[in-house]
Amino acid sequence: MEQARRFPDVPFIIGHFGKIMFLDAIRSAEMCPNVYLETSGAQVCDLQMAVERIGYDRILYGTDLPIGGAPSAHWNVVKIKSAVPDPVALAAILGGNAIRLMDRKHLAFQ
3-state secondary structure the chain: CHHHHHCCCCCEEEHHHHHHHHHHHHHHHHHCCCEEEEHHHCCHHHHHHHHHHHCCCCEECCCCCCCCHHHHHHHHHHHHHHHCCCHHHHHHHHHHHHHHHHCCCCCCCC
pLDDT of 20-76, one tens digit each? 999 999 999 999 999 999 999 899 999 999 999 999 999 999 988 777 788 888 889
- Residue 51 main-chain phi, psi, to 5 deg: -60, -40
**Residues 51/17, Cβ–Cβ less than 8 Å:** no
pTM recorded for the entire structure: 0.90
- At residue 34, the pLDDT reads 97
